[in-house]
Amino acid sequence: MQQHSGDAHHPRDLRTVTGTLPVSAVRGPALAHEHLTLDLDRAGDGAAILHADRHGPAVTTELAHLREEYGLGLVVELTCRGMGRRPQALARISEESGVPVVAATGWYYEPFHPAEVDGADVGELTAILVREIRDGFGDTGIRPGVLGEIGSHGEVPSEPETRVLLASAQAAVATGLSVATHAQLGHGGRAQLELLTGAGLPPHRISVGHQDLLDAPAVHRELAASGAYVAFDTVGKESYQSDTTRLRLLLALVEAGHADRVLLSCDISRHAYLRSEGGEGYGHLFRSFLPRVRAAGVDEDLIDLMTRRNPLRFLTGADTKEN
């Protein structure tokens, strides 16, 4: 495929909200699925919000501390169209915290679809995504570096969700970006993978989301064996699933030989999860969960694989076990 002059980027580079970043510059761990700005408030109670102005300073402070304490090297920010995405706020948070941020495009699951999805066919939706990937968010000059979090709920995507997944796959094939999904409560990952790969997207450019909410080791093994990434990306959300269960599921996948297909994150998606408001924050993975993984016998090379090399391979579409 002939690239537009403005679309060319070295396959080893990442597209961040502050510009192109060589993969080799990311020396520390990445958070593979987070939100730094967000508005999913359908109840009107203001809970499912990360406001760029009200909460942005607390988010920035957390990321800066994690960079200093744990060497946090990258955040993959999966707030997409209809989810309250604020690209310029992401750039400000990235610059002030010193942590590179990759922004996303795409559509979440059906209850959060904006009006543009209604009645649009796959080709029209694909064109919207490709245009945003190539030209950036409005006139900001900021471009997405990943498609996500592309959503579905239930074991089989709804009709609008199917169109969105197919459009995401076609846009990924056309632009070289990878696709991260939202599988509601962990369900429907196999159907998502089938749709995406059926549209020509290689499995190693797909991350199936929220699999730590699904207590189904056989499903995790099947997804990993296909070549897709298996995201354990709600670490610390104890109201959905205990970290004890997450640890068991993760160790089962590692012991089955699939550490090279694991992605880890906390999916901070409301302001009450922030440390400043008494929540576990973005650092729960590093402070609490990874020490338990280490105590279970997982060595530092595998920790680095799961927290740094895997997300970098996923984002760049590299189909090798090492960067």
| DSSP track, 16-48 | ETTEEEEGGG--S-EEEEE-SSEE--SSSSS-S
Q: What is the mean pLDDT of residues 226-253?
A: 98
Instruction: Please say if the pLDDT value at position 44 is more than 80.
Output: yes
Instruction: Please say if the pLDDT value at position 4 is more than 50.
Output: no
Instruction: Please say if the pLDDT value at position 130 is more than 90.
Output: yes
pLDDT band at 242 (very low <50, low <70, confident <90, very high): very high
Q: Determine the Cα–Cα distance for residues 282 and 289; give it in Å rounded to an integer.
A: 12
Burial class (CB in 10 A: 0-12, 13-18, 19+), 144: buried
Q: List the beta strands (DSSP E) in the chain.
A: 13-16, 19-22, 30-34, 38-39, 49-50, 74-77, 101-102, 104-105, 146-152, 179-183, 206-208, 229-232, 262-264
- At 235 the pLDDT is 98
pLDDT band at 11 (very low <50, low <70, confident <90, very high): low
How far apart are the two ends of the chain, measured CA to CA in Å? 25
Regarding pTM above 0.75, the answer is yes
Percent of the chain with pLDDT over 70: 95
pLDDT band at 243 (very low <50, low <70, confident <90, very high): very high
Q: Determine the Cα–Cα distance for residues 106 and 125; give it in Å rounded to an integer.
A: 9
Instruction: Please say if the pLDDT value at position 3 is more than 60.
Output: no
Instruction: Please say if the pLDDT value at position 175 is more than 70.
Output: yes
Q: Is 102 helix (H, G, I), strand (E, B) or coil?
A: strand
Per-residue pLDDT tens over the stretch 90-106: 999 999 999 999 999 99
Closest among 150, 177, 149 to 165, alpha carbons compared = 150
Phi, psi dihedrals of residue 50, rounded to the nearest 5° = -125, 100
Per-residue pLDDT tens over the stretch 105-120: 999 999 999 999 999 9
Q: Determine the Cα–Cα distance for residues 182 and 5; give it in Å rounded to an integer.
A: 32
